[in-house]
Amino acid sequence: MTSIGDVGAVRGAARVSETAGQGADRLRPVRLWLWSVATLVFLMVVVGGATRLTESGLSITEWKVITGILPPLTEAAWLAEFEKYKQIPQYSELFPTMTLGQFQTIFFWEWGHRILGRIIGLAFALPLAVFWIRGMLPSSLKPKLVGLLALGGLQGAVGWWMVKSGLTNRIEVAQERLAIHLLLASITLTFLIWLAVGLKSKAAEAMRAGGRLKATAIGLVVLTLAQIGLGGLVAGLRAGYTYNTWPLMDGHFIPPLENLGRLSPFWANLVDNVTTVQFNHRMTAYALFALAVWHAVDALRNAAGTSAAKRAIVVAGLVACQAVIGIVTLVYVVPLHAALTHQGFAMVVLGMAAVHARRMVEVKA
C-alpha cells in the first residue's frame, strides 16, 4: 500500500522533473542561436580562406563600416575602385595586366567576406539583446556573451589591421597578422560551441582516470588551436608551395639547423622562415595526432562503452583525416579545392574537440 508521504514524494519528484524540462526548453532557443552563429563563423573561415587563396584580400583598400555595405553599382564606381587598387604594390608587382573583369572577381570575394562579418555581428548582437530583455539568459551566461560580442568587435579590427599591412611596402598581408586573424576566429568558434554544449545538461559519467582524460581533452583543443595558428603562418608565407614532399623535406625529416635558423635574430625564423614555419606545422601535426590517438586509447581502457570513449575515437579519426588532407594539399602543391578543404576541416576537428572537452568537464573523476 502506498502511503500519503510516498504519493507526495512522487508528486514532488514529478514537479522537479517538469521544472527541469521547462528550464531545458527555455534555453533551447539560446542553444540554437549559438549553434547558428557558430555555423556562420565556420562559413566565415572558409570564405576567408578562399579570399586569401584567390589573392582577393587587398582588393578593397578602404574600411567603410556603413557605405561599404554596397558594392560599386555603376561602371564609373567600378573604375574608381579599380584605380585605388592600382595604387598598391600588389597590383604593380603581381597583376599589372589585370582587367576590370578580373578585378571585379577578387573584389566580390573580399566584399562577401566583409558582408558576412557584418551579418555575423548582427546575428549575434540582435538576438542577444532580445534574449537579454526577455530574461531568457542565465546570469552566469551574460558576461560570457558580452565577452564574445567584444571578441567579435576585436576580430573586425584585427581584420582591417591585417589588410593595412599589405597596402604599402608589401605585396600581401603580414603573415603574423593573418595567423592572429584566423586564430581569433577559431577561438570565437570554440567559445560559441563550448557555451552551446554547456546549456544542454547530461548525466555526468563516472570513469577511471577521469582527471587525466579531462586534461588531455582540453589539451587537444589547445593544441588544435596552436596548429591552426601555425597553419595561418604557412598560408601567409606561402610555405605550402615549398618542400612539396612527405614525409621528408628536401630529403630530410628534420632540415639542417642552418636552414631552420638562417635568420637573425633566431625568433624571426618562427614567423619569417618558410622552412621553419612549414617544419613547425608538420611537427605539431604529428604531436596532435599522437595525443589524439593516445587519448582515444586511454578512454577505451578506462571508460569503455561510455559516450566519452566514443567521442574520443571520433576526434582521433577526424585528426587522422585532417592529416591526410594536409599531406594531399602539400604534395599536390596547394590546389584551391584541397586547401579550402584543409582549412574548413580544421574547423570541424576544432569543433568536435571543443564538444568533447566541454562534456569531459562534467565527468566525475
**What is the reported pLDDT for 365?**
60
CB 346 within 8 A of CB 228: yes
* Sequence ranges of the domains in the chain: 1-201, 204-365
**What is the reported pLDDT for 3?**
47
Query: Looking at 61-65, 123-127, 291-295, which range is the least confident one?
Result: 61-65
Mean pLDDT to the nearest integer, 143-154: 96
**In 3-state terms, what secondary structure has residue 51?**
helix
Cα 341 to Cα 346: distance, rounded to the nearest angstrom: 8
What's the pTM value of the predicted model, to 2 decimals?
0.90
| Residue 87 Cα to chain centre, angstroms | 33
User: Confidence class of residue 362 from pLDDT cuts 50, 70 and 90?
Assistant: confident
Q: Per-residue pLDDT for 22 more than 50?
A: no
Instruction: Report DSSP state, residue 23.
Output: H
Q: Per-residue pLDDT for 284 more than 70?
A: yes
CB 281 within 8 A of CB 227: yes
Cell 595526432, located at residue: 289
Percentage of the chain beyond pLDDT 70 is 92
CB 190 within 8 A of CB 262: no
217-220 contacts, C-beta under 8 A, 24 or more apart? 217/295, 217/312, 217/353, 217/356, 217/357, 217/360, 218/357, 218/360, 218/361, 219/291, 220/288, 220/291, 220/292, 220/295, 220/315, 220/353, 220/356, 220/357
User: Confidence class of residue 65 from pLDDT cuts 50, 70 and 90?
Assistant: confident
Q: Per-residue pLDDT for 5 more than 70?
A: no
**What is the reported pLDDT for 13?**
40
pLDDT digits (tens, 9 = 90+) for 29-60: 999 999 999 999 999 999 999 999 999 999 99
Mean pLDDT to the nearest integer, 120-132: 97
Q: Per-residue pLDDT for 1 more than 70?
A: no
**What is the reported pLDDT for 208?**
76
Mean pLDDT to the nearest integer, 70-87: 96
Q: Per-residue pLDDT for 257 more than 70?
A: yes
Query: Looking at 2-11, 18-27, 213-222, which range is the least confident one?
Result: 2-11
Mean pLDDT to the nearest integer, 168-181: 94
The secondary element (H helix, E strand) that includes residue 230 is: helix 210-237
Q: Which three cell numbers stand for residue 25?
A: 526548453
User: Confidence class of residue 364 from pLDDT cuts 50, 70 and 90?
Assistant: low
Q: Which three cell numbers stand for residue 265?
A: 635574430
Mean pLDDT to the nearest integer, 208-229: 94
